[in-house]
Amino acid sequence: MSDQPVVIIDDLHKSFGEREVLKGINLKVNAGEVVCIIGPSGSGKSTLLRCVNQLETTTSGTITVLGQDITDENVDIDALRTRVGMVFQQFNLFANMNVLKNCTVAQRKVLGRSEAEAREIAMKNLAHVGLEDRGDARPSELSGGQQQRVAIARALSMSPDILLFDEPTSALDPELVGDVLKVMRELAEEGMTMMVVTHEMAFARDVADRVIFMDDGVIVEEGPAAQVINAPTQERTQQFLRRVLDPTHSGE
């Protein structure tokens, strides 16, 4: 991990009409760092992530990604998104294309790679996620966990500098979660810069360099993963973790 920031978020506010969802977020993510963002539903976690690749426009404040102010109205968003990969809760694969085509279409159309080069890169990344033998399959022929691993391979095939994961396992049956988390662990070990919104506390504790706890549009607590999850200092963080880690409590 380097101290070179890939993402710098400065006093970020985001409103939907009268409702302010992000209330002055300040955050830096360094190259090679894995930052997990946890918190209750409605705390602004996914909105924060979507602002980092401008799927949501900001209301005020600035976000600098790879040295470029992406909140500038003149920024080339398409060029930005070639460098910032995103994996969604719902896999968002093209149902009418096979797995291989899902992983090559953006390479060819956006990056201008040849068919042979795009295919070679796609196959390498499908092998990375353990699905090199499913290139001809349609998404409907795959399990949810396999579809999510294809989505990761597709994002990797664009050769991004940072990957954003928005609750990548929350739509999966419990027995399929492990395969997706295994791929994410391997990416972290390889030095991929990652921002991960997740409710998988064991993953956050074991893999993240830093954990951010958000509630009601603000960062309540942040620090090394083990400290925030095992020994949080803020009462609101403690309350949240008691609920999600203790099965006798109802979830948030």
pLDDT (tens digit per residue) in 100-127: 999 999 999 999 999 999 999 999 999 9
DSSP H stretches of helix in 12-98: 45-52, 77-83
The helix/strand/coil state of 120 is: helix
The helix/strand/coil state of 119 is: helix
How far apart CA 204 and CA 218 sit, in angstroms, is 19
- pLDDT for position 248: 59
170, 149 Cβ separation under 8 angstroms:
no
1 confidence band (pLDDT: 50, 70, 90): low
**How does the average pLDDT of the chain come out, rounded?**
93
Q: What pLDDT digit, counting tens, does each position of 207-243 carry?
A: 999 999 999 999 999 999 999 999 999 999 999 999 9
> For residue 63, what are its two tokens?
């976000």
Which has the closest alpha carbon to 244: 213, 200, 186, 178?
A: 200
213, 219 Cβ separation under 8 angstroms:
yes
pLDDT at 246 over 90: no
- DSSP bridge pairs for 25: 12
142, 126 Cβ separation under 8 angstroms:
no
150, 126 Cβ separation under 8 angstroms:
yes
- pTM comes to 0.92
